C-alpha cells in the first residue's frame, strides 16, 4: 500500500474523530462470563537450519542475561504481607493529594461521600490489576507465537525465555488479585481488540510491534507510575520484579525490529506506522476504565469527561506513551513517510517524549540488584 492509499480513521479505529467518546464507549464486552476465546492465527511457522549462535550479538546478550535473571513468583515475593485494601486506597489517596481533584457540585458525583469514593478506589484497583493480568496473558501467547514465526535462532532462543517470564507474570498478577484484592474484571474490549489484531496479523514483525513495542512499552511505563503511586509494599515489590523483565522484553522488540525495519520500503513502513497509531489509540481508550463507572452506577460518559480532565489522570494518560514514542523514533517509524506517525502522535498529545531514553539497552538500569533481593 502506498501512502496515497492510506486508511481513514474509520478504517483504522472505527471512528472519524479519535476523541469521540460516544463511539469509544460503544465498544464493550459482549460476554462477561466467557471462559475461552478463540482467535485465528494466520501465521506460518518457520524453521531455521542456521544454528549459528550469536550472529545477532544484541539478542544473544539479552538471552544470556535472561538465563540468569529468572525469579520465582511464589518464593521471591513477600506474600505474607497483610493487604487491607481499604487502608491502602486511603493511604494512596493521602500520599497522592486526595481521593478527588475536581469540584463535584452539579456533576453526577454530587452525592458521592467518602464511602463512594473509597469504593471507586477499590474498584479502580481491581480493574487495573485485572487488565494487567489479561495483558500479561496477551504477552504470553504473542511471545510463544514469536518463537514459531521469527526466522532467527537468536530471537527464538530469547523469545523462549520471555515465554517463561510471561507465565510468571500471569501467575503473580492472578495470585495478587485472588489473595489481596476483592474482585476480577473481564478483559477490556479495547484491549481485547488490540490483542486480537496482533494475533491475527500473519507478519512476524507485527507481533513484535504490537506486543513488545506498544503493549509492553506501555506496561513498563504504567507499572513504573503505579509503583510510585502505591504505598503497598508487596505490590511495589511485585512491580519492581516484573519491570526488570519487561525492560528486557521491550529491548528485544527494539533490537529485533531495528535491523528488519532498516530494510523495509516506504510502503511497508507505512503499514507499520498505521498499526502503531491504531494500537496507541486502542491503548488510550482502554485506560478510560469505563467498566468501573458502570459498576458505580453513574452515567459513564459524564464520569469519564470529568475524571479524564483532572490533572492526575491527564498526566497518567500521557506518561503511558513515555517509552513507546522514543522507541518508535529509534525504529524510524516517527519520521519516515513525511513524518506521518509524528503528526498522529502530535494529535494524541504524546510527541513530547520523543527524545526520552529509548529502551534498547535500558534493561541494565532495571535489572534486579542485591538490595531488591534482600528486601524481598
User: Site residues (CB under 5 A) for Fe ion?
Assistant: 136, 139, 166, 169, 216, 246, 249
By beta-carbon proximity to Fe ion, the closer residue of 136 and 285 is 136
- Cβ proximity to Fe ion: between 218 and 276 the closer is 218
Could you give the CA distance from residue 268 to residue 309 in angstroms, rounded to a whole number? 37
Shortest Å, Cβ 109 to Fe ion: 34
> Residue 97: is it exposed, middle or buried by C-beta count within 10 angstroms (0-12/13-18/19+)?
exposed
Please check whether residue 131 is in contact with residue 222, taking contact to mean a CB–CB distance below 8 angstroms: no
- Shortest spacing between CB 125 and Fe ion, in angstroms: 19
Q: DSSP string of 255-268?
A: HHHHHHHTTS-HHH
Contacts (Cβ under 8 Å, ≥6 apart) of 213: 250, 253, 254, 257, 276, 324, 327, 328, 331
Q: Which is nearer to Fe ion, 232 or 246 (CB)?
A: 246
Cβ distance to Fe ion smaller for residue 201 or 216: 216
**Least gap, CB of 139 to Fe ion (angstroms):** 4
How many CB atoms sit inside 10 A of residue 22's CB? 9
Shortest spacing between CB 138 and Fe ion, in angstroms: 9
Closest contact distance (angstroms) between CB of 35 and Fe ion is 22
Of 198, 252, 227, nearest to 362 by C-alpha is 252
CB of 204 to Fe ion, least distance (A): 17
Cα 303 from Cα 372, distance rounded (Å): 39
Q: Which is nearer to Fe ion, 89 or 243 (CB)?
A: 243
Closest to Fe ion by CB, 162 vs 290, is: 162
Please, which residue, 122 or 238, has the CB nearer to Fe ion?
238
The Cα 89–Cα 261 span in angstroms is: 44
- Smallest gap from residue 165 Cβ to Fe ion (A): 6
142 or 304: whose CB is closer to Fe ion?
142
List the grid coordinates of 114: 467518602
Q: How far apart are CA 31 and CA 189, in angstroms?
A: 10
Write down the least CB distance from residue 274 to Fe ion, Å: 24
Cα 274 from Cα 257, distance rounded (Å): 16
For Fe ion, the closer of residues 274 and 362 by Cβ is: 362
Chain centroid offset of residue 235 CA? 17
Phi-psi region of 97 (alpha: psi -120 to 50; beta: other; left: phi over 0): left
Distances (CA, A) of 123 to 90, 118, 308: 13, 9, 17
For residue 208, the minimal CB distance to Fe ion (Å) is 12
Distance CA 329, CA 309 (A): 28
Amino acid at each position: 500500500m502506498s501512502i496515497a492509499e492510506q486508511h481513514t480513521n474509520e478504517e483504522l479505529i472505527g471512528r472519524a474523530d479519535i476523541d469521540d467518546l460516544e463511539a469509544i464507549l460503544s465498544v464493550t464486552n459482549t460476554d462477561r462470563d466467557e471462559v475461552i476465546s478463540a482467535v485465528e492465527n494466520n501465521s506460518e511457522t518457520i524453521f531455521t537450519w542456521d544454528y549459528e549462535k550469536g550472529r545477532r550479538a544484541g539478542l544473544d546478550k539479552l538471552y544470556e542475561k535472561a538465563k540468569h535473571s529468572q525469579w520465582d513468583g511464589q518464593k521471591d515475593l513477600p506474600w505474607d504481607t497483610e493487604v487491607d485494601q481499604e487502608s491502602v486506597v486511603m493511604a494512596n489517596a493521602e500520599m497522592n493529594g486526595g481521593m478527588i481533584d475536581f469540584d463535584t457540585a452539579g456533576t453526577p458525583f454530587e452525592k458521592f461521600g467518602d464511602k463512594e469514593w473509597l469504593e471507586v478506589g477499590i474498584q479502580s484497583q481491581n480493574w487495573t490489576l485485572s487488565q494487567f493480568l489479561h495483558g500479561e496473558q496477551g504477552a504470553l501467547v504473542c511471545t510463544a507465537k514469536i518463537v514459531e514465526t521469527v526466522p532467527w535462532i537468536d530471537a527464538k532462543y530469547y523469545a523462549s525465555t520471555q515465554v517463561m517470564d510471561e507465565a510468571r507474570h500471569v501467575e503473580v498478577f492472578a495470585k495478587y488479585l485472588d489473595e489481596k484484592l476483592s474482585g476480577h474484571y473481564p478483559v477490556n474490549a479495547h484491549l481485547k481488540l488490540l490483542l486480537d489484531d496482533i494475533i491475527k496479523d500473519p507478519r512476524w514483525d507485527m507481533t513484535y510491534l504490537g506486543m513488545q513495542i506498544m503493549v509492553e512499552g506501555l506496561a513498563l511505563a504504567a507499572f513504573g507510575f503505579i509503583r510510585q503511586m502505591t504505598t503497598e509494599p508487596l505490590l511495589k515489590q511485585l512491580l519492581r520484579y516484573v519491570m526488570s523483565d519487561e525492560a528486557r522484553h521491550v529491548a528485544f522488540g527494539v533490537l529485533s525490529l531495528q535491523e528488519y525495519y532498516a530494510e523495509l520500503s516506504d510502503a511497508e513502513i507505512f503499514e507499520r506506522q498505521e498499526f502503531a497509531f491504531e494500537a496507541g489509540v486502542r491503548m488510550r481508550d482502554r485506560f478510560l476504565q469505563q467498566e468501573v463507572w458502570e459498576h458505580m452506577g453513574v452515567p459513564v460518559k459524564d464520569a469519564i469527561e470529568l475524571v479524564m480532565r483532572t490533572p492526575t489522570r491527564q498526566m497518567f494518560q500521557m506518561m503511558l506513551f513515555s517509552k513507546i514514542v522514543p522507541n518508535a523514533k529509534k525504529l524510524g517509524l516517527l519520521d519516515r513517510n513525511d513524518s506521518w506517525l509524528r503528526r498522529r502522535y502530535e494529535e494524541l498529545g504524546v510527541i513530547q517524549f520523543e527524545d526520552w531514553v529509548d529502551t534498547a539497552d535500558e534493561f541494565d538500569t532495571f535489572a534486579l540488584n542485591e538490595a531488591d533481593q534482600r528486601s524481598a
